[in-house]
Structure 1
Amino acid sequence: MAARLRGRPAHAPGPTYLSYTPNGKKLITVGVNGALRVFQHGSDNEPAIIDVLTDGHTAVASTNDFIVVGAEDGSVTKYSLLTNSMEEILVRCSLPVRDVSLSKDGEWVAVASDELAVKVVNTRDMTRIMHLRDQSRPVKHVSFDVSGSTLAVSCTDGIVYMYSLSSEQPQLIKRVDGLIKTLETDAEANAKVAWHPDGRAFAAPTATRDFQCVARSDWQRQKAFSGGHRADISAAAWSPNGALLATAGVDKSLCIWETRSQRLLKSYDDVQNTILAIDWHPTDNVCSYTNNNGELFIREDFVPGEHAKHLRIALQPSPMNNDPLSEISGNARKQLSNGDKPNGVRRSAEDQYLDDLLGPDAMSEDEMDFIEDDDGAGYAEEMNHVGKRSAVTDAGRPAKRHAPFAAWKPQIHEAFQPGSTPWRGDRRYLCLNMTGFVWTVNQDTHHTVTVEFHDRQEHRDFHFTDPYKYDKASLNEKGTLFSCRPSTQTQQRAILYYRPHETWTTRTDWRTQLPAGEEVTSMSLSESCIVATTSKGYVRIYSLFGLPLKVYRQKSMPAVTCASWRDYVMTVGNGPVDGDGTTRMLYTVDNVRRDELCQSEDVVALREGTELRNIFFSDKGDPCIYDTEGVLLILLHWRTPGQAKWVPLLDTKTMDRLASGRKDETYWPVAVANNKFHCIILKGGDVYPHFPRPLLVDFDFKIPVSSFPAGGVEDEDKDVAQQRNLEEQYVRASLQHALASDLVDSTNSTSAQRAEVPVLERDVDKALLQLLAAECREGEERGMKALEIASLMRDRTGKMLEAAGKIAARFQRDILGEKITQLAERRLVGLVDEEDM
Structure 2
Amino acid sequence: MSERTKQAVLRDRRKRAKNSEASKPTGSSIFFYRFHTSTLVNRKNKDWHLILPDGERVLGASCGDGWAAAVTSRQFLRIFSPGGNQNKIVWLKGEPVTMVGRGELLAVFYHESSPLPDKTQQLGYTLWDAANFRVISRGSVSSLSKGSSLSWVGFSNDLSLMVMDNDGMLSMLITTGEASSDGTYIWEWAPVLDTIGLRKSSDDYHWPVTVHNGKLVCIPLKGGNTYPDANRRPVTTTLGLKMPLAKSVVSKNSALEELSVRSNIALSQKKFLRELDCDSEDLEAEYVALCAQVDKVTLRLYSGMVDSGKLESAFDLVSRLHSEKSYEIAIRLADRHYKLADEVERVKKYKFPDDDDVSNEDYTEYDGGTSNVSHDHSEGTQSKQISPDSRRIDKRHNMLGEPERAENKRLRLK
The answer to whether TM tops 0.5 is yes
What is the SS of the residue equivalent to 1:792?
A: helix
Q: Structure 2: state its 5+ residue gaps.
A: 10-20, 353-387, 389-414
Report the Cα offset of residue 735 of structure 1: 0.6
Aligned equivalent of 2:207, options 668, 679, 691: 668
Distance 1:503 1:535 in 2: 32
Report the Cα offset of residue 601 of structure 1: 4.3
What is the SS of the residue equivalent to 2:186?
A: coil
Report the counterpart of residue 89 of structure 2 in structure 1.
551
Aligned equivalent of 1:792, options 281, 306, 319: 319
Aligned equivalent of 1:687, options 219, 226, 242: 226
Report the Cα offset of residue 467 of structure 1: 12
Distance 2:351 2:129 in 1: 40
8 Å Cα contact 1:801-1:820 kept in structure 2: no
> Does residue 520 of structure 1 match 2:40?
no
Q: Give 1:559's aligned amino acid.
A: P
Report the counterpart of residue 111 of structure 2 in structure 1.
574
Matches within 5 A, 1:20-169: none
Report the Cα offset of residue 623 of structure 1: 1.9
> Does residue 506 of structure 1 match 2:39?
no
What is the SS of the residue equivalent to 1:680?
A: strand
Higher helix share: 2
Report the counterpart of residue 311 of structure 2 in structure 1.
783
Query: For residues 265-299 of structure 1, what are the alpha-carbon distances to aligned partners after superposition, in whole Å with 9 as ceiling and x for unaligned?
Result: xxxxxxxxxxxxxxxxxxxxxxxxxxxxxxxxxxx
Distance 1:579 1:663 in 2: 25
Pick closer, same or farther for the CA change 1:707–1:683 going to 2, 3 Å: farther
TM-score (norm 2): 0.69
Matches within 5 A, 1:384-783: 493-504=27-38, 505-506=42-43, 508-554=46-92, 556-577=93-114, 580=117, 584-637=122-175, 641=184, 643-655=186-198, 658=199, 661=200, 665-691=204-230, 692-706=232-246, 720=251, 722-778=252-308, 780=309, 782-783=310-311
Report the counterpart of residue 30 of structure 1 in structure 2.
none
Q: Give 1:690's aligned amino acid.
A: D
Pick closer, same or farther for the CA change 1:527–1:829 going to 2, 3 Å: closer
Q: Give 1:774's aligned amino acid.
A: G
Query: For residues 415-467 of structure 1, what are the alpha-carbon distances to aligned partners after superposition, in whole Å with 9 as ceiling and x for unaligned?
Result: xxxxxxxxxxxxxxxxxxxxxxxxxxxxxxxxxx7x9xxxxxxxxxx9x9899
Report the Cα offset of residue 792 of structure 1: 2.8
Q: Give 1:794's aligned amino acid.
A: L
Report the Cα offset of residue 532 of structure 1: 0.8
Q: Give 1:527's aligned amino acid.
A: D
Query: For residues 377-400 of structure 1, what are the alpha-carbon distances to aligned partners after superposition, in whole Å with 9 as ceiling and x for unaligned?
Result: xxxxxxxxxxxxxxxxxxxxxxxx
> Does residue 829 of structure 1 match 2:357?
no
Pick closer, same or farther for the CA change 1:775–1:528 going to 2, 3 Å: same
Q: Structure 1: state its 5+ residue gaps.
A: 1-448, 452-461, 469-486, 709-716
Report the counterpart of residue 81 of structure 1 in structure 2.
none
Report the Cα offset of residue 666 of structure 1: 1.8
Pick closer, same or farther for the CA change 1:537–1:784 going to 2, 3 Å: closer
Query: For residues 470-526 of structure 1, what are the alpha-carbon distances to aligned partners after superposition, in whole Å with 9 as ceiling and x for unaligned?
Result: xxxxxxxxxxxxxxxxx99x9764222222223254264333222221111111111
Report the Cα offset of residue 557 of structure 1: 1.7
Distance 1:676 1:466 in 2: 42
Report the Cα offset of residue 585 of structure 1: 0.8
Q: Which has the larger radius of gyration?
A: 1
| Sequence identity (%) | 24
Aligned equivalent of 1:820, options 340, 346, 359: 340
Distance 1:515 1:529 in 2: 21
Query: For residues 571-611 of structure 1, what are the alpha-carbon distances to aligned partners after superposition, in whole Å with 9 as ceiling and x for unaligned?
Result: 11111346538662111123344333222344453223111
Distance 1:612 1:667 in 2: 14
Q: Give 1:610's aligned amino acid.
A: S
Q: Give 2:197's aligned amino acid.
A: T
Pick closer, same or farther for the CA change 1:693–1:499 going to 2, 3 Å: farther
What is the SS of the residue equivalent to 1:736?
A: helix
Report the Cα offset of residue 703 of structure 1: 1.6
Distance 1:499 1:638 in 2: 38
What is the SS of the residue equivalent to 1:803?
A: helix
8 Å Cα contact 1:730-1:764 kept in structure 2: yes
Q: Give 1:726's aligned amino acid.
A: L
Pick closer, same or farther for the CA change 1:669–1:749 going to 2, 3 Å: farther
8 Å Cα contact 2:260-2:297 kept in structure 1: yes
Query: For residues 726-770 of structure 1, what are the alpha-carbon distances to aligned partners after superposition, in whole Å with 9 as ceiling and x for unaligned?
Result: 110111111111111112233325222112223222233222222
Pick closer, same or farther for the CA change 1:696–1:525 going to 2, 3 Å: farther
Report the Cα offset of residue 613 of structure 1: 1.2
Report the counterpart of residue 284 of structure 1 in structure 2.
none
8 Å Cα contact 1:616-1:624 kept in structure 2: yes
What is the SS of the residue equivalent to 1:804?
A: helix
Distance 1:573 1:735 in 2: 26
Q: Give 1:522's aligned amino acid.
A: G
Distance 2:153 2:306 in 1: 43
Report the Cα offset of residue 652 of structure 1: 2.0
8 Å Cα contact 1:634-1:646 kept in structure 2: yes
Pick closer, same or farther for the CA change 1:492–1:548 going to 2, 3 Å: same
Distance 1:669 1:741 in 2: 27
TM-score (norm 1): 0.36
Query: For residues 289-330 of structure 1, what are the alpha-carbon distances to aligned partners after superposition, in whole Å with 9 as ceiling and x for unaligned?
Result: xxxxxxxxxxxxxxxxxxxxxxxxxxxxxxxxxxxxxxxxxx
Pick closer, same or farther for the CA change 1:654–1:547 going to 2, 3 Å: same
